[in-house]
Amino acid sequence: MSPAHPPSVPSSHPAGGPSAPAGVLSARGLRRVYDADTAPVRALRGADLHVSTGEFVAVTGPSGSGKSTLLNVLAGLERPDDGTVTLAGIELTTLSDSAAARVRRRHVGIVFQFFNLVESMTAADNVALAARISGRPRRAAMARAAELLDVLGLLDKAGARPATLSGGQRQRVAIARALASEPTLLLADEPTGALDSDGTAEILELFARLHAAGQAIVVVTHDHEVAACADRIVAMHDGILLPHRDGGVP
């Protein structure tokens, strides 16, 4: 079964479609420089990363090493100054901004450290909004939201607003939102950074389930527990990805 349709996260798409390519993501020679008052900031200095179907990769490294910039470039939220990003067989770096946005809506789910939920909307509406943006009609979007909240143990919170939920519950809603389009790749930026130990345990268990179901995942994290769940750990230092002592070269 395709990793975009993990069995633990029900899909409303028909079965039997083509499988995702073996190389879900390939980033080569990524360079990104920001202008600053004193001197240019070289956030990425030739970073390379390959993610296979169903693989869970953790990117670790100190603050300022370029991890968040890397995630933004992989998602197509920023363009690199040099290098290429190929996602699900599509080279993002050659596309217009609008075309890249369409690819991102279909193939990428993003989980942020501070949830980024719409506070005036219910949990179900937050998830359904992402499904609507990916092209589903309202009724199908609401059905998808209900499916995901049920799988993630939050169906009883579907009508609740984010402010009434615990940190772990809010992050689960955020992950449900990221999965609403059945993405080829799930990207997460410090997903446990704003959580207590109980909330962190919830999210670790959820990522383990998604990984077991075949979802390709890239997580940027300082948390050793999160990194330990991954198939492969790569360390980022001064804008370059380096092999972890227990992992291979990306």
CB 128 within 8 A of CB 180: yes
* 36-94: pLDDT as tens digits: 777 888 999 999 999 999 999 999 998 889 999 999 999 999 999 999 999 999 999 89
Model pTM? 0.85
What are the extents of the domains in the chain? 23-116+180-243
| pLDDT confidence tier of residue 149, bands split at 50, 70 and 90 | very high
d(CA 248, CA 46): 18
pLDDT digits over 5-43, tens only? Answer: 444 454 433 333 334 345 899 999 999 999 877 788 899
| Distance, CA of 140 to CA of 88 (rounded, Å) | 24
pLDDT of 98: 92
Cα–Cα distance for residue pair 16/5, rounded to 1 Å: 11
138-142, 190-194, 212-216 — which is least confidently predicted?
Answer: 190-194
pLDDT score recorded for residue 20: 39
| Chain-centre distance for alpha carbon 112 | 8
CA-nearest of 15, 3, 12, 13 to 88 is 3
Question: Which residues face 25 on adjacent strands?
Answer: 51, 87
Report the alpha-carbon distance of residue 127 to residue 107 in Å, rounded. 16
- Cβ proximity of 27 and 93 under 8 Å: no
- C-alpha distance from residue 20 to each of 2, 11, 72, 82, 214 (Å): 6, 15, 22, 26, 11
Quick one: CATH architecture of 23-116+180-243? 3-Layer(aba) Sandwich (3.40)
How far apart (Å, rounded) are the C-alpha atoms in residues 89 and 26? 9
Q: Kindly give the pairing relationship between strand 90-91 and strand 108-111.
A: unpaired
